[in-house]
């Protein structure tokens, strides 16, 4: 009986594989002695350095899943290491601040058009940068609504939600007027939509972010797609930011100026690194294959976490279980799996605690709901911080503080 299959070019490190026998397959093996084997079903040559180790094979009469654990005492809410959280409220996305136990939730920012994403704390914990979805032109819309295009800004706020300042604005480009009615020899020119999707602090006064572009036609059809990573000051300026890496998304930076990102297109897909502070930044491939995404540096600037697509099937046969792996930058051959996320549909939006002992992550469910969960690196214990199903992403304040004044005013 075939339990599953996987490629021979899997990423390194020990990885849990789990599958569930149901229905006819369970009836076939009930009361039988089982023998486990792996069969290579390919004529393709295997690299001489490739090897597969198998350990701890078990069959249990239960449906094993990752279970939620009680919140550890270290994460009881005291306001010293808060989370910046994006919550969905109807069709809107607002920025909130809350303690690590989900308490003391305070609305900080509604956004330019009630659509805020990807919050990131500054290195000193005094500011929060967010992607602010809006339109172009901005801030003065075109009198003709058809000329207002999807776009986004980067807004930097104080820790209490005040002092918001736009530091960058994408400028989408208008195509043919809609509805498009072509004449012989004339074809529709699509609008070019430019948006920031992800950002990070490179230093106390610099941001690194991706700009993603695609073509959009009057009927809603979307084609093409390109993305580059740029560096810009964390203050308003009138120059277009220089490109740090082409065909790249999801940057994350450490205190040494090293930027990890996902690469696609011209170079090998995977996790790459570039030293932004170098006089001639040259990207270096760290992890090939494209099975691992969303890299995030730890506070020690040595480790980083990624989301891995495992080979284990999920309850939905069209999907695979995701996992969180932690790599040591100086020993990429031996990553550690710290979470096997079979308690939800997928995980994303990882953020490290100030001391590097915990992760916060978003757990998405098949019904479209999502919550913020905590994960202890040492033990693998995990559990929910929010339980309302509308928490989309979180950023852990990188330094602890005694207290922060928050105005008792709804903004």
**Cα separations (Å) of 286 from 50, 152, 240, 268, 309?**
17, 31, 29, 10, 17
**Residue 52: predicted pLDDT:** 78
Query: Does residue 309 sit in helix, strand or coil?
Result: strand
pLDDT at 43: 67
Of 136, 139, 201, 207, give the one whose Cα is nearest residue 174: 136
Residue 47: the pLDDT is: 61
Residue ranges of the chain whose pLDDT lies below 70: 42-50, 266, 317-318, 401-411
Q: Is there a cis peptide before residue 161, judged by omega within 30 degrees of 0?
A: no
For 325, the token pair is 């792996």
- DSSP 8-state code for residue 390: B
Cβ atoms of 355 and 299 within 8 Å: the answer is yes
The DSSP result for 54-109, as a single string, is -------SS-------PPPGGGS--SSS-EEEEEEETTEEEEEEE-TTS-S-EEEE
Residue 401's pLDDT is 65
What is the structure's pLDDT at 209? Answer: 98
pLDDT, position 289: 84
| Predicted local confidence at residue 88, as pLDDT | 97
Q: Two tokens at 243?
A: 């490109």
User: What gap in Å lies between CA 119 and CA 131, rounded to an integer?
Assistant: 7
- The structure's pTM equals 0.91
Residue 27, token pair as written in the block: 């009836």
pLDDT value, residue 405:
41
What local confidence, expressed as pLDDT, does residue 182 receive? 84
Q: What is the Cα–Cα distance from 245 to 207, expressed in whole angstroms?
A: 14
Q: How many helices (H) and strands (E) does the chain have?
A: 1, 24
Q: What is the DSSP string of 338-352?
A: EEE-TTSSEEEEEEE
Whether the bond into 179 is cis, omega within 30 of 0:
yes
* pLDDT tens track for 359-368: 999 999 989 9
- Residue pair 13/51 in contact (Cβ under 8 Å)? The answer is no
Per the CB < 8 A criterion, the answer to whether 182 and 188 are in contact is: yes
Q: For position 400, what pLDDT does the model report?
A: 74
Q: Are 95 and 86 in contact (CB under 8 A)?
A: yes
What's the pLDDT at 120?
Answer: 98
Q: What CA–CA distance (Å, rounded) separates 2 from 44?
A: 21
CA angle 148, 228, 115 (to 5 degrees): 40
Residues 6+ apart with CB under 8 A from 58: none
């Amino acid at each position: 009986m075939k339990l599953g299959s996987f490629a021979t070019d899997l990423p390194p490190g020990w990885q849990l594989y789990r599958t569930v026998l149901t229905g006819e397959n369970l009836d076939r093996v009930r009361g039988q002695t089982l023998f486990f084997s792996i069969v290579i079903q390919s004529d393709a040559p295997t690299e001489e350095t490739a090897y597969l180790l198998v350990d701890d094979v078990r069959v249990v009469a239960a449906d094993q899943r990752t279970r939620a654990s009680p919140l550890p005492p270290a994460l009881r809410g005291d306001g010293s290491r808060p989370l910046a959280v994006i919550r969905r409220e109807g069709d809107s996305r607002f920025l909130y601040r809350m303690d690590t136990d989900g308490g003391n939730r305070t609305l900080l920012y509604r956004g330019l058009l009630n659509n805020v994403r990807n919050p990131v704390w500054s290195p000193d914990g005094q500011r929060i940068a967010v992607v602010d979805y809006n339109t172009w032109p901005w801030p003065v819309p075109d009198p003709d609504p058809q000329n207002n295009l999807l776009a986004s800004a980067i807004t930097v706020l104080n820790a209490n939600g005040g002092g918001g300042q736009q530091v960058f604005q994408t400028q989408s480009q208008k195509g043919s007027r809609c509805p498009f009615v072509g004449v012989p020899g004339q074809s529709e020119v699509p609008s070019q939509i430019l948006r920031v999707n992800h950002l990070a602090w490179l230093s106390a006064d610099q941001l690194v972010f991706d700009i993603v572009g695609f073509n959009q036609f009057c009927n809603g059809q979307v084609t093409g797609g390109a993305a580059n990573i740029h560096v810009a000051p964390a203050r308003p300026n009138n120059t277009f930011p220089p490109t740090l890496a082409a065909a790249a998304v999801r940057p994350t930076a450490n205190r040494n100026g090293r930027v990890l990102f996902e690469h696609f297109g011209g170079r090998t897909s995977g996790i790459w690194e570039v030293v932004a502070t170098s006089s001639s930044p040259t990207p270096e491939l760290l992890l090939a294959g494209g099975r691992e995404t969303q890299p995030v540096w730890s506070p020690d600037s040595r480790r980083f976490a990624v989301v891995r697509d495992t080979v284990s099937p999920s309850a939905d046969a069209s999907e695979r279980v995701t996992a969180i792996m932690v790599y040591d930058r100086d020993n990429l051959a031996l990553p550690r799996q710290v979470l096997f996320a079979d308690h939800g549909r997928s995980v994303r939006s990882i953020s490290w605690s100030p001391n590097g002992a915990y992760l916060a992550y978003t757990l998405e469910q098949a019904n479209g709901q999502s919550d913020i969960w905590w994960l202890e690196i040492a033990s693998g214990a995990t559990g929910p911080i929010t339980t309302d199903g509308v928490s989309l992403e979180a950023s852990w304040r990188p330094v602890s503080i005694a207290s922060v004044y928050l105005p008792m005013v709804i903004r």
